[in-house]
Structure 1
Amino acid sequence: MFQNNSEDVAKQKLLLLYILKVSPEPLSKERIAELLIDNFNMNFFIIQQYISELSDGSFIRIEENDHTSLLVLEESGTESLDYFESKITDSIISKVHSIFSLDSLGDPVPVQTEATLYPRDNGEINVNLKLIEQGETVFSLYISVPNEEQATLLMHKWENSPEYYYKSIIELLIDDKPTI
């Protein structure tokens, strides 16, 4: 019923290994299944079988971490992947890289920041702070400050630590604690 030919099976297992190799963070069994189902139209039960077979063959290991099963690529998995990686098509590699926001070499695509000031007629300054990923604005905030010195300080802080400020703002907005 779920029969695949051996070449397809090998390519799908290589894809699983490749995803583990390029993922910027360890993946759980659930997360890798979700990625393979959503992006490569694979069957859940087949994925679980591949994970089991790759684990039994010492290509990956399964580590329990806070009630989650994380998949870790073993040295033999890396060696096999290095040897057979040419069997994975460029289009599949590109798709995997886009899933993890990686460039063509597998390096993370940097998040870009923008900080622009707009003087207002009343002497105040509007500052627009942006985060841009892959050409798309994912965060934009306008703040009005009383003078150019504060605008410059705000822009400098944003450009030096955008992840910190973005995370802090998001946490503040989604925190369930009552506000004043």
Structure 2
Amino acid sequence: MFNNEIDLAENKLLLLYTLRELKIPVSRKILTEIILQSSYLNYFILQQYISELEASGFVDNTKEDNQAKLAINKSGRKVLSYFENRISPETKKLIDDFIQKNIDKIKEEISVTADYTIENSSNYTVSLKATENKITLIDIKISVATQKQAKDLCNNWKNNSSQLYNNIINILTKDH
């Protein structure tokens, strides 16, 4: 039982370390991807740890652009400073390497959002948004007839937002 408590504490410290190293608030999804690809935690335990860190007051959960974002707070930084040496250098290196390799993708995911809501059985509203340094570059709402169209729009926006943004600007500023 004592080893389980040590593992639990080290895993929570790993989450705090990851949030500190990211230096930007991130969604639960992004944090989960980083941890699952860099350690041996299982998904459900990881979600429990995130919730416990929030409940303990070490991680803030804020809303940005209608999306929940997680960030380490002052209390979390203080705890991490006391116990960071309990995280193995190998694990830190895995996290650091993953962040370094994927920071541009992480930042892009943060600045590009795509979601849809069901209005009724034959109408879906798709919301596409891109922001940069907290400035909204584009915010589009489109009504489509099927869930497949809504999903396709969201996926295309997430995968090609820069190109689509440039195309929209070019079309709208083009003289006919």
TM-score by length of 1: 0.54
Equivalent residue number for residue 98 of structure 2: 99
Q: Number of aligned pairs?
A: 111
Q: The residue matched to 1:27 in structure 2 has which SS? A: coil
2:80 aligned with 1:81: yes
Q: Which structure is higher in RCO with an 8 Å CA cutoff and minimum separation 6? A: 2
Q: CA separation in 1, counterparts of 2:164 and 2:59?
A: 39
Contact 2:34/2:95 (<8 A) preserved: no
Equivalent residue number for residue 67 of structure 2: 68
Shift of 1:24: 3.5
Equivalent residue number for residue 31 of structure 2: 32
Q: The residue matched to 1:5 in structure 2 has which SS? A: helix
Q: State the Cα RMSD in Å.
A: 2.7
Query: Which AA in structure 1 matches 2:23?
Result: P
Q: CA separation in 1, counterparts of 2:52 and 2:34?
A: 19
**Quick one: structure 1 residues 69 and 174, their matched pair in 2 at CA, closer, same or farther if it must change by over 3 Å?**
closer
Shift of 1:87: 0.2
Q: CA separation in 2, counterparts of 1:12 and 1:29?
A: 16
In structure 2, runs of 5+ residues without a counterpart are: 104-160
**Taking every aligned residue pair, what percent have the same amino acid on both sides?**
32
Could you list the per-position Cα deviations for residues 62-117 of structure 1 after superposition, in whole angstroms to 9, with x for gaps in the alignment? 10112221112121111110000000011111111111229xxxxx9xxxxxxxxx
Q: CA separation in 2, counterparts of 1:5 and 1:81?
A: 19
In structure 1, runs of 5+ residues without a counterpart are: 103-107, 109-169
Contact 1:24/1:100 (<8 A) preserved: no
* Mapping of residues 119-138 of structure 1, within 5 Å: none
Larger radius of gyration, structure 1 or 2?
1
Equivalent residue number for residue 49 of structure 1: 48
Query: Which AA in structure 2 matches 1:31?
Result: I
Could you list the per-position Cα deviations for residues 14-37 of structure 1 after superposition, in whole angstroms to 9, with x for gaps in the alignment? 000000001032211111011111
Q: CA separation in 1, counterparts of 2:44 and 2:163?
A: 40
Q: The residue matched to 2:90 in structure 1 has which SS? A: helix
Equivalent residue number for residue 8 of structure 1: 7
**Quick one: structure 1 residues 22 and 176, their matched pair in 2 at CA, closer, same or farther if it must change by over 3 Å?**
same
Q: The residue matched to 2:24 in structure 1 has which SS? A: coil
Query: Which AA in structure 2 matches 1:47?
Result: L
Query: Which AA in structure 2 matches 1:76?
Result: S
Q: Where is the helix percentage greater, Structure 1 or Structure 2?
A: 2
Query: Which AA in structure 1 matches 2:9?
Result: A
**Quick one: structure 1 residues 24 and 73, their matched pair in 2 at CA, closer, same or farther if it must change by over 3 Å?**
closer
4+ long deviations beyond 2 Å: 170-180
Q: The residue matched to 2:57 in structure 1 has which SS? A: coil
Equivalent residue number for residue 165 of structure 1: none
Query: Which AA in structure 1 matches 2:33?
Result: E
